Amino acid sequence: MQQLLIAGRYRLLDLVGTGGMGRVWLARDEMLHRDVAVKEVVPPSWLAEAEREQVRLRTLREARTAARLNHPNVVRIYDVVHDRESPWIVMEYVPSRSVQQILGTEGPLSPQRTARIGLAVLAALRAAHAAGVLHRDVKPHNVLVADDGRVVLTDFGLATFDGGDGLMTGPGTVLGSPQFVAPERAREGVSDPRTDLWSLGATLYATVEGQSPYARSSAMATLSALATEPPDPMRRAGPLRPVLTGLLQRDPWRRLTAAEAEPLLRRAAAHPGEPAETARSSAVAAVRSAGRSLAQTPLDPLGGPAPLTARRRGRTAGRRRLLIGLAGAASALAIAGGVTVALATRDAERTPPSGSGGGAATARPAAFACSTPPPPTATPVVSLSPAADGRYGLREGWTWHDDPTGFRIAAPVGWARWNEGAATCFREADGARVLSVEAGPPRDDPLAYWRAEEARLTGSEALPGYRRVDISAMDIFEGGAVWECGWENAVGEQVHSFRLLANTSADRSYTVSWLTKEFDWQVNAAYLPMIRQSFTPAS
């Protein structure tokens, strides 16, 4: 078998590795007289012949796509050939050891060395994602450390295939290594740049800790833990702890992006060796600093415009009402652990009053309208019969509020109501929840407006510990956009706000806001569909 000639050119010399989708050989290119690595793609035996052929075709397509990559941290693909009824991928041969082999002989690596490997793999993934290529099988076996120190990522697009995961999953089977598969891919079969980033986090975790974050005795036990349990505790990670925690978030929208992970890896790579407790303190400080600097970082893993915004929020475009259905609420529940909905914001040119959403008044600028306690002149919301309009089912304890300024919305009975400038405020008695509606001039570009507000408020330090969840456009009324975020209020509590700005006519816009403590978000997010659907501006 060592003398087998593939495509009349590549002579197989030695078997150097096997995997779930094929075998890798050291081969000799008889035309150019150089060593190459040749991978024979072998579809799983349980696939039907038609499915096996589809796998082969997708393999060729993926390999041709990956061949466009030209990056020092990516193993180059030279050729794709078809021989003996199988696709063969001809790649650069890198004299090296895989990270898995290094772990087997040397044991866990230091946080600094692991971070340097992580930076190289992250650079490879960013280059691949920018070219539209997903790896889908990042793991220690596929990270090579060359004899000259170069770190390369190999085996692109061969473990699973875009749009084809369903065809390649048999009963009780997960292609690739379950210990390095992102939760959403194991659960739903989806693959995107965020799943690669989770696998990067699991790979670095294994490199520094000596085992994967979900190391169990069987694949099924691993998948069960992946679905229900947090990663195993870190004991050796030190300055890597923030980036590993961020990359291993179960919720893909809470996961660190590539742009966010890079500075944390650089800090860890430059971090001197020190006692674990000191390293832990430094790591916490680093991630807090990084969190404050991410206010204007896009959520896209490639650092560009965030993709699939509408899908991730579960919104239905094109509606003429402020309607984000139950799917939107379910998406919000998955993304955040607690919410404060503040439905009003201040104009950029207006000097806001003191205070912070959900907390007591302070000397710093207010983050949003209605953030201070109700004034003595506030009046309670009085219950009205909901029979006047049966289009929306009101929850128990809520009633209709017809505002003199020209809008209707569902409001909680007994909450204090008052006006603050152009905003109508509703605040829970002895509580932190705030509902508000603020009228304003129309905004030519609501999305740009929210981004400007984000820059203004974070620049004035009105949102300490700021965390963006979403800023995205919505096709409602005459145009709108949402801004969802969290921050730390004046009394040190984490709060969460969802704000929806909509141009309702040629001369008016409204901002509807809902604000709660972060801890209470899951419970209170259930009110969002009713609030959004009930809002009706004057015609």
Q: Which residues are catalytic?
A: 137
Cβ(440)–Cβ(511) below 8 Å: yes
Cβ distance 494 to 338 under 8 Å?
yes
CB 480 within 8 Å of CB 537: no
Long-range contacts, 100-107 (Cβ 8 Å, 24+): 100/139, 100/140, 100/141, 102/145, 103/140, 103/206, 103/207, 103/210, 107/210
Residue 5 CB: number of other CB atoms within 10 A?
13
Q: How far apart are CA 426 and CA 379, in angstroms?
A: 10
Give dist(CA 519, CA 340) in Å, integer. 9
Task: Provide φ and ψ at 478, rounded to 5°.
Answer: -100, 20
3-state secondary structure of 339: coil
Residues 512, 518, 524, 525: is their CA dihedral positive or negative?
Answer: positive
CA distance 204 to 146: 17
Task: Report whether 437 contacts 510 (CB < 8 A).
Answer: yes
8-state DSSP, 291: H
Is 442 within 8 Å of 508 (Cβ atoms)?
yes
> What secondary structure letter does DSSP report for 277?
H
The H or E element containing residue 417 is strand 416-420
Q: Starting at the edge strand that comes first in sequence, how are the strands of the sheet with 34-41 ordered?
A: 5-6, 10-19, 22-29, 34-41, 86-92, 77-83
Q: What are phi and psi of 102, to 5 degrees?
A: -65, -45
Rounded Cα distance between 359 and 157, Å, is 50
State which amino acid sits at residue 88: W
Question: If you ran DSSP here, which 8-state letter would residue 384 be given?
Answer: -
**For residues 482 and 499, is the Cβ–Cβ distance under 8 A?**
yes
Specify which residues 537 forms β-bridges with: 407
Q: How is residue 389 annotated by DSSP?
A: -
* Distance spanning both ends of the chain, measured CA to CA: 80
Distance separating alpha carbons of residues 243 and 261, to the nearest angstrom: 6
Distance CA 426, CA 454 (A): 23
Angle at 372 between CA 366 and CA 378, to 5 degrees: 140
